A and B are shown apart, each in its own frame.
Chain A
């Protein structure tokens, strides 16, 4: 009797395939490092070079989401899982967190505007 169900779903690959994968891993490493370098540089100089804060802020958020995409899609291998598995993991999270962000920030701005009034 073989109750080791994991065996059916483990992935093995050849030396040649491994070479391709390792190259991909290092390419993504440089992407992540590059984005981080851009973020830090921007954080240090945005004021001196006269960029508007909202622009800088949204650039940070966008770059962060790109980094998150690369980590989840490639390092955590989610991109290569079945579509229904990807949706099961991502959709509940994205829907609920977006909802929470919108609610919380909306309320926060309201609370801010009432300071000194109550």
Chain B
């Protein structure tokens, strides 16, 4: 009878009593998506591990690549990425506080914490842009690419002697260095084909993994913003629950979770 459904109570409609998981449909689907996304990120990080183990001796040390800090001179390894990690953890806290406020139907606090989460996400994306800029731009001194493609690091600004890549620093200087320097080019910064810090593969993985994560953060900010507007409009207040905030919350925590792993495997190890 189209247009006139008798009111069957939802327990009957389900056919099996209550949901076996006691979780709303939207949240289950978000979890499914997150598991599949986790596989993608794991694939990227594991392939990073594969290449790193394959080129164990010549792999650049991330600590020596990312040493810049805004408004500060000199080398500050790990400091900047630690700050980024802090920002993302902080925005995870504000997100979970928004979810908690939603459970109490506290519209004012959901609005406040969602707003802070969006701010945190934007700062994080901005920080990543800044780091990309420095990685692409490179150092003042640059490096040298020998005829066979090997990247060697200058000993000093005179650019007459250099270190070969490897665990022990092997210095080449004098006539031998001059002969090797005849064929080759100076390189500055990194892109997908050349990388002054060492293997181009390192740059490729850096751009792909942090880029893929950054895209997640950015889309998370956009989705958070849409939900934020709905919160402001009172959509969920009218609906009687803030399940939507929980769903975007799950996504946002996942983004933070991925960063925890990127931080460890890309920057620390």
Interface residues of A (CB under 8 A from B): 1-3, 5-15, 18, 21-22, 25-26, 29, 32-33, 36, 39-40, 43-44, 57, 60-61, 63-64, 67-68, 71-72, 75-76, 81-82, 84-85, 88-89, 92-93, 96-97, 100-101, 104-105, 107-109, 111-112, 115
Contacts and interface: CB of A to CB of B under 8 A. Distances in A.
B159 interface: no
Given A81-B22, A85-B28, A100-B42, 13 more contacts: A1-B7, A5-B10, A18-B106, A36-B89, A43-B267, A71-B253, A75-B92, A75-B256, A84-B21, A89-B35, A105-B50, A111-B50, A112-B56
A40 B78 contact: yes
Given A7-B241, A39-B268, A44-B77, A112 B55 contact: yes
Contacts of A7: 240-241
A98 B49 CA distance: 13
Interface in B210-269: 240-243, 249-250, 253-254, 256-257, 260-261, 263-264, 267-269
B264 A9 contact: no
Contact of B85 (A36, A109, A112, A115): A36
B43 interface: yes
28 contacts: A1-B8, A3-B10, A6-B25, A8-B24, A9-B22, A10-B243, A13-B104, A21-B103, A22-B100, A25-B100, A26-B93, A29-B89, A36-B85, A64-B263, A64-B264, A71-B92, A71-B256, A75-B96, A76-B249, A81-B22, A85-B23, A93-B35, A93-B39, A97-B38, A104-B46, A104-B47, A107-B50, A111-B53
Interface in B26-66: 26-28, 31, 35, 38-39, 42-43, 46-47, 49-56, 63
A104 B89 contact: no
Given A44-B78, A71-B92, A93-B38, A105 B268 contact: no
Describe A's contact surface by its main secondary structure: helix
A116 to B, nearest CB: 11
Contacts of A109: 53
A39 B20 CA distance: 40
Contacts of B5: 1
Contacts of B49: 101, 104-105, 108
A33 to B, nearest CB: 6
